[in-house]
Chain A
Amino acid sequence: EAGVTQFPSHSVIEKGQTVTLRCDPISGHDNLYWYRRVMGKEIKFLLHFVKESKQDESGMPNNRFLAERTGGTYSTLKVQPAELEDSGVYFCASSQVKAGGAGEQYFGPGTRLTVT
């Protein structure tokens, strides 16, 4: 079974540009999550999809971030326009179990975003 995949692995963009990150969850997983780790700090929750619907987007930092999951399969996270403080590693995770329960989530390798 293929794991969670993310693309690209690394992106370097200039302030003001747009970047789109992609996440492909494990096939059949209804729950998809986005997280971000700013250098050396804790991993922070951004949002949670159940199929194509946004279940919880309380962690999204501002309206420069837009997440979509059309068709309930892969998801994209767009940052427009990017700012320096957006730099970090963006993780995607998926799970099939009920959200908020005791089941673990399966994480992708992350996309390292550098805004210069």
Chain B
Amino acid sequence: AQSVAQPEDQVNVAEGNPLTVKCTYSVSGNPYLFWYVQYPNRGLQFLLKYITGDNLVKGSYGFEAEFNKSQTSFHLKKPSALVSDSALYFCAVRPRGQNFVFGPGTRLSVLP
């Protein structure tokens, strides 16, 4: 079965420190990879995606993600966290021609 894992339910980081939210996946083929963020009482917002090419993808709000094919991972990173980055983050993969497969989400708390 196709699946996406986000091994940490919660990530806490101090403001100004780098952050990483982990994602690994198990799907067939070469899927498209996405990160979405959900702020309170809002819908999921697109952050970034990997289609092909450079393994480091840059997205909105200073976030970036690194694709590692051998480890089937797509970890989300930011060099310097802000309190306003506190939210729920979802990793999603899309096998080509198929629907999204989402991870369970990771709650990020950035402490002032």
Residue of A whose beta carbon sits closest to that of B99:
A45
Contact of A42 among B96, B97, B102 (CB under 8 A): B102
Given A42-B4, A42-B103, A102-B49, A107 contacting B41 (CB threshold 8 A): no
A61 — which chain B residues lie within 8 A by C-beta?
none
Number of A-B contacts (CB under 8 A): 60
Q: Are A100 and B98 neighbours in the complex by a CB distance under 8 Å? A: yes
Q: Judge if B45 is at the interface, Cβ distance under 8 Å.
A: yes
Residue of B whose beta carbon sits closest to that of A104:
B46
Q: Are B104 and A40 neighbours in the complex by a CB distance under 8 Å? A: yes
Q: Judge if B43 is at the interface, Cβ distance under 8 Å.
A: yes
Number of interface residues of A (CB under 8 A): 28
CA distance A106 to B9 in the complex (A): 24
Q: Are B43 and A110 neighbours in the complex by a CB distance under 8 Å? A: yes
Which applies to chain A's interface (DSSP): helix, strand, loop or mixed?
loop
Contact of B104 among A42, A59, A105, A109 (CB under 8 A): A42
A45 — which chain B residues lie within 8 A by C-beta?
99-101
CA distance A106 to B31 in the complex (A): 19
Which parts of B31-61 form the interface with A (CB within 8 Å)?
Answer: 32, 34, 36, 41-46, 49, 51
A108 — which chain B residues lie within 8 A by C-beta?
43
Residue of B whose beta carbon sits closest to that of A47:
B99
A49 to chain B, nearest CB (A): 12
CA distance A45 to B101 in the complex (A): 7
B42 — which chain A residues lie within 8 A by C-beta?
109
Q: Are A100 and B99 neighbours in the complex by a CB distance under 8 Å? A: yes
CA distance A93 to B98 in the complex (A): 15
Binding site for A on B (CB under 8 A): 4, 9, 32, 34, 36, 41-46, 49, 51, 90, 92, 94, 96-105
